Structure 1
């Protein structure tokens, strides 16, 4: 039985642990699917500052929040049959200048956004259609632009432009793509963070998938104020153009600096050795080297560190093992809920 489980499960018997997961990218659905299998009550808060791939092209044609991350999260939490999920995920291989490379799900999300008048209502409607177990909330109801200042003082806008510079990033922030209004998260997003037992950041690209959400002013404030345990799932490998040579402590430090204090309560850090002979960096050149733990640096960030074998590299690639990570998240959520009960 996992650490703390025998003591805490009795306290929350009959209540699903509430987990709010904030992020984007390919790693997020892996964790969400595993948490779903563990019967957690999940709220996925998904970044809307992406400007690449099919999402970016649709965003250029139609004034809509980029749908790619939202599409993948919907599939990860959906209870519809696999064949229907495969149709939703299908990408056209047509030579047509518009449809080539687009996923059907992205087009459906864009259509619903037009029908409903905003992305939040569109995602709620689609979640019902896709029989989603949990809640999926865009981090903002408007398309956002990611901005970055580099260590040399230069500034760039747009995820693709930022990462292509291959320069060390000092800080990032987001702006409304269509107006001068300050980006805001809608109330259900804030409520999910405040009511959660655990708020999970990651896994995902530090500067382009995690921090854009936290830079939405009222969303970041909710993370600072929540009584939930704030957990950071540290990336397994460094990422070209974003976190070259970063340790686990560097990742946590950057998040804390952007939040303005030590707000990461627990960091989940992989401790297993990665078999680089099975890894193929020529095919996945955004990954450079395994992230080092740096326990002394992590302690300076005032966060608890949980180190374990959190990876699945059976395919010859390196991914988080969703079940291992989800199990640890639930243990932490159980502890946090019990502690809040005791504190009244």
Structure 2
């Protein structure tokens, strides 16, 4: 039986958890990673060099590599606050930025780095141009810039992206549409709904490909609600937002964690953006998706609630195996 082709779309700290476990499976993996981050080190580098932000790509690169732990620590090392112009920059971001400049694009840099780190899968930025994320709130207010969205008090109605440095229509990176169309499964998330997942899906070419692909589309629903994005959201609300941005019900399968996060477990000063556990609305999910997989996907670590990558991937591989 041939290897299943699985494309994972997202960004932030969510999809690396899935990719780190998925790389151990006998699968042909493609990661499509958001390029709308404009905060922190990524924001500074994209502003000064006009390149696609490297931070989310860096985390995906590490997750999909079997590099020794010591190499990973070097690549992820973040310069101290007192280090002048280097302060706050992870060494890996600077390496990606340097190779991007040398090769003419972040897309080309990632193709070199996947070979450098002996990654068998493929990593593509969702666009080869840095994108600016726009959020339109239910009161009509618009916030421009991914890093500013959570600061506005209100409920987001929808988001869209524009090219940061020109007025052209945002385009998907080369080979991204091909990967989506040829996949057996598309995995969305986990990750910040409006700022990690949707910035990829609202690129017109990616949206059109998701509407046309014969692949199974699976969404790994978040465990916790997020300040400034999904406050008071149920799992069904997450799916409704995704389907609404795509124009019709595209999500085939939703993976939902039903294990409780222990009371007062979350360390608020480290994970202050995460509020309470996502409530379940299985009736609402059944109206929007063909299949709901509810199980214990919880991993508790260092005062945070995360997805257990191995448990999620076990379900994904079982699901895609039935499609082959």
Within 5 A, what are the aligned runs for 1:234-273? Answer: 234-273=221-260
What is the CA–CA distance in structure 1 between the aligned matches of 2:280 and 2:211, rounded to whole Å? 24
Shift of 1:52: 1.2
What is the CA–CA distance in structure 2 between the aligned matches of 1:118 and 1:280, rounded to whole Å? 39
Shift of 1:38: 2.1
**Does 2:189 align with 1:202?**
yes
Within 5 A, what are the aligned runs for 1:102-251? Answer: 102-251=89-238
What is the CA–CA distance in structure 1 between the aligned matches of 2:123 and 2:254, rounded to whole Å? 24
Are 2:183 and 2:215, in contact at CA under 8 Å, matched by a contact in 1? yes
**1:58 corresponds to:** 45
**Does 2:84 align with 1:97?**
yes
What is the CA–CA distance in structure 2 between the aligned matches of 1:34 and 1:64, rounded to whole Å? 29
Local SS of the residue matching 2:304: coil
1:287-328 per-residue CA deviation (whole Å, 9 max, x = no partner) reads 111111201111121331110001111543210000000011
Shift of 1:332: 1.2
Q: Would the alpha carbon gap of residues 39 and 166 (structure 1) be closer, same or farther in structure 2, given more than 3 Å must change?
A: farther
What is the CA–CA distance in structure 1 between the aligned matches of 2:303 and 2:67, rounded to whole Å? 30
Are 1:20 and 1:45, in contact at CA under 8 Å, matched by a contact in 2? yes
Q: Would the alpha carbon gap of residues 269 and 36 (structure 1) be closer, same or farther in structure 2, given more than 3 Å must change?
A: same
Local SS of the residue matching 2:23: helix
1:122-148 per-residue CA deviation (whole Å, 9 max, x = no partner) reads 110111112112000000000000001
Shift of 1:92: 1.1
Are 1:197 and 1:334, in contact at CA under 8 Å, matched by a contact in 2? no
Normalized against structure 2, the TM-score is what? Answer: 0.97
Local SS of the residue matching 2:293: strand
Are 1:166 and 1:240, in contact at CA under 8 Å, matched by a contact in 2? no
**Number of residue equivalences:** 324
What is the CA–CA distance in structure 2 between the aligned matches of 1:186 and 1:281, rounded to whole Å? 37
Within 5 A, what are the aligned runs for 1:10-49? Answer: 12=1, 15-49=2-36
Shift of 1:118: 1.4
What is the CA–CA distance in structure 2 between the aligned matches of 1:238 and 1:232, rounded to whole Å? 16
- From 288, 296, 310, give the equivalent of 1:309: 296
What is the CA–CA distance in structure 1 between the aligned matches of 2:131 and 2:167, rounded to whole Å? 11
What is the CA–CA distance in structure 2 between the aligned matches of 1:70 and 1:206, rounded to whole Å? 18
Shift of 1:94: 5.6
What is the CA–CA distance in structure 2 between the aligned matches of 1:156 and 1:316, rounded to whole Å? 31
* Structure 1 runs not aligned, ≥5 long: 1-11, 338-344
For the aligned residue pairs, the C-alpha RMSD in angstroms reads: 1.2
Shift of 1:186: 2.7
* Structure 2 runs not aligned, ≥5 long: none
1:45-97 per-residue CA deviation (whole Å, 9 max, x = no partner) reads 00000111111111222111110000010011113322222111111116132
